[in-house]
Structures are given as C-alpha cells and as structure tokens.
Amino acid sequence: MRILITGGTGFIGKALVKALEGEHQLTLLTRSAGKAHLTLGNQHKLLGNLSALANLDGFDAVINLAGEPIADKRWSLEVKQKICDSRWDTTARLAKLFEASKTPPKVFISGSAIGIYGDHDKQVHLDESFDLAHFKDTGKEEKFPHSVCAKWEELALQCQGLTRVCVMRIGLVLGLNGGALKKMLLPFKLGAGGVVGSGKQGMSWIHREDLIAIILFLLNNEQCQGIYNATAPNPVSNREFTNSLGTALSRPTLLPMPAPILSLALGEMSQLLLEGQYVYPDRLTQAGFSFHYTHLDDALTNLFGASKS
C-alpha cells in the first residue's frame, strides 16, 4: 500500500513506521526532514506541507497522528491554540484533499484521545457507545481535552462517505524512550514516585505494541469503521498504576503527590493527572482484535523486566 502518515516521527509514529516499512511505501508529513532522516532513515518520501498536494489520488491509506504535545508545557492560551491548530488544521486539510480526490484512499485512520470522555469514576463503563452529550445533561464543564478531541474527531468523520474512517481514542501509551512513562520514570527511579491526588482516578493504558497492532488491524479489516477505544481491556486506578510501576522498577512508592501542589505546579494541565476515566475497547474486541498485553503488570514486565535488578 502507498500510505501517507502524519506524526510519523513521534513516539507512536516511529514504531508505526518500523512496523509498516518494508511491506508498504510510506510518505511522511514532517516539519523537519532532518529529524525524520535521523530517526527513521532515508528510505521514506517526506512531505513538508500538505499544501504541496492537490489531492490524495496517489495514496491507498492515510494515518493521521500529528499534533503538538499536550503535556509538555503549561496550558497558556498560546499553547492551547497550538495544541488545537496542529490537530484541527492537519485534519481539515486532509479532509479537503479527500474531497478533491478522484480515487480517494480506501481508509483514513485518525487519532483522538480518551480525554474526550472527561472525568469519571470507576462505576462508569466508558465504551464507544457512551453519550458524549453528558456534559450538557449533567451541567459538567467541558474540559480542554474534550474540546480538542471532539473537533478533531468531527473533522475526520467528515470524510465518511468518501472513505472508510476509523478514529482511535488512544489511551496512555506505554513504551520505552518516550510518552508518559518517560516523564514518570525519573521520580520513580529516584524513589520519589507516589500516588497522585486521591489515587482513585482511572488510568486507561495501552502497550505501544498493541496500539501499533490496532492500527494494522484497522488498516486491513475493511469491515472496521467509526470510533474505536484504543486502550487495554483492564484499566487501573492511579494507585494500582503507581504500585505496579514501583514493583516493576523495584522502587518505593511512598511519596504521594497532593492535588493542591500539583494544581499549583501545573495549573489547568494538572487535570491530566488528577482526573481520569476507565475506558474499555469493546468495539475492537467485538471486531476480533486480540490484545497481547491485557494486564498492566505484564506490560510493565515486558518493558522493564530486563532492567529490574
């Protein structure tokens, strides 16, 4: 297949490119050809800007993962704008290119995140049928991650009718050398890891290998379309996550991080850590996808087993 990938140089994208290269012809949208060559080699076509394309006639599939990191900087108005624009503009441009195509790519796989569901306790089983209009019904405030993802999804879903659209609501991706785990590791390795806030907030994680397998599954299974939760089938609480990570690293987890301190340090962005949700991949399971890492301890043992001593 000839596949256009946005965000191919990122934490998820790099692993995806490795899984696809060899068998498929890849074109990567990137703002930095130098970074792409350094991380992914010279064998892929690179595209600096989508405006270089008149349509998508030359592609069989599009995978859309580009976006300004959401947890790197405090959410100033400027940072929020970048987080939104980088996702919305890329997706809107892709939608226009789908429209302009005589023979559009057969599938459009686009990213989203479980932050779209908002903050819920364990009693709420969040599968893809969950009604997102609940914000209006309950008077709950629409939070920033929800707003970013709602429009991101809407823009991708506009292409339904032109192509098969699969939107992945991605959970906390666990892999080495990047993503959320990289940020968590230092305090844990220093023995300063601990429960965040109440510790009851849900953490719906997924091993990066399983996420890549999901993307390949959606790419190849023509009956798949619509929204898919890309999370492992057994989400855990922050307290359980903390204990499992401490065990995997053989480090203590005695230092809790109280909510007010985190709010003071991170501002509005602290909701990424203090709030959570228990998300279930019901549609993927029903479609016949089988997870390799269903339990957190197995995923962490796979990642840190060798460095446990």
Residue listed under structure tokens 């920033």: 144
Q: Tell me if 30 contacts ligand NAP by CB under 6 A.
A: yes
User: What's the min distance (Å) between Cβ of 29 and ligand NAP?
Assistant: 7
Q: Are 152 and 111 in contact (CB under 8 A)?
A: yes
Q: Tell me if 281 contacts ligand NAP by CB under 6 A.
A: no
DSSP 234-289: --EEHHHHHHHHHHHHT------B-HHHHHHHHGGGGHHHH----B--HHHHHTT-
Q: Which of 68, 99, 127, 128 binds ligand NAP (CB under 6 A)?
A: 68
Q: Tell me if 82 contacts ligand NAP by CB under 6 A.
A: yes
**Closer residue to ligand NAP in complex, CB, 5/262:** 5
Q: Are 82 and 37 in contact (CB under 8 A)?
A: no
User: What's the min distance (Å) between Cβ of 39 and ligand NAP?
Assistant: 9
**Binding-residue total with ligand NAP (CB under 6 A):** 26
How many angstroms separate the CA atoms of 165 and 146, rounded? 20
Q: Tell me if 69 contacts ligand NAP by CB under 6 A.
A: yes
Per CB under 6 A, the segment of 68-76, 117-125, 191-199, 282-290 that binds ligand NAP is 68-76
**Burial grade of 198 (CB within 10 A; 0-12, 13-18, 19 or more):** middle
User: What's the min distance (Å) between Cβ of 196 and ligand NAP?
Assistant: 16
Q: Are 92 and 66 in contact (CB under 8 A)?
A: no
Q: Which of 18, 35, 45, 189 binds ligand NAP (CB under 6 A)?
A: 35
How many angstroms separate the CA atoms of 242 and 231, rounded? 18
Q: Tell me if 271 contacts ligand NAP by CB under 6 A.
A: no
| Mask for 95-124, x = binds ligand NAP (CB under 6 A) | ----------------x-x-----------
Per CB under 6 A, the segment of 53-61, 169-177, 195-203, 267-275 that binds ligand NAP is 169-177
Paired sense of beta strands 164-170 and 45-47, if any: unpaired
**Closer residue to ligand NAP in complex, CB, 31/136:** 31
How many angstroms separate the CA atoms of 287 and 153, rounded? 21
How many angstroms separate the CA atoms of 17 and 13, rounded? 6
Q: Tell me if 303 contacts ligand NAP by CB under 6 A.
A: no
**Closer residue to ligand NAP in complex, CB, 32/103:** 32
Helix, strand and coil percent figures for the chain, each rounded to 5: 45, 15, 40
Q: Tell me if 180 contacts ligand NAP by CB under 6 A.
A: yes
Q: Tell me if 204 contacts ligand NAP by CB under 6 A.
A: no
Which residue number is nearest to ligand NAP in terms of Cβ?
10
**Site for ligand NAP, rule CB under 6 A:** 7, 9-13, 30-32, 35-36, 65-70, 82, 86, 111, 113, 170, 172-173, 179-180
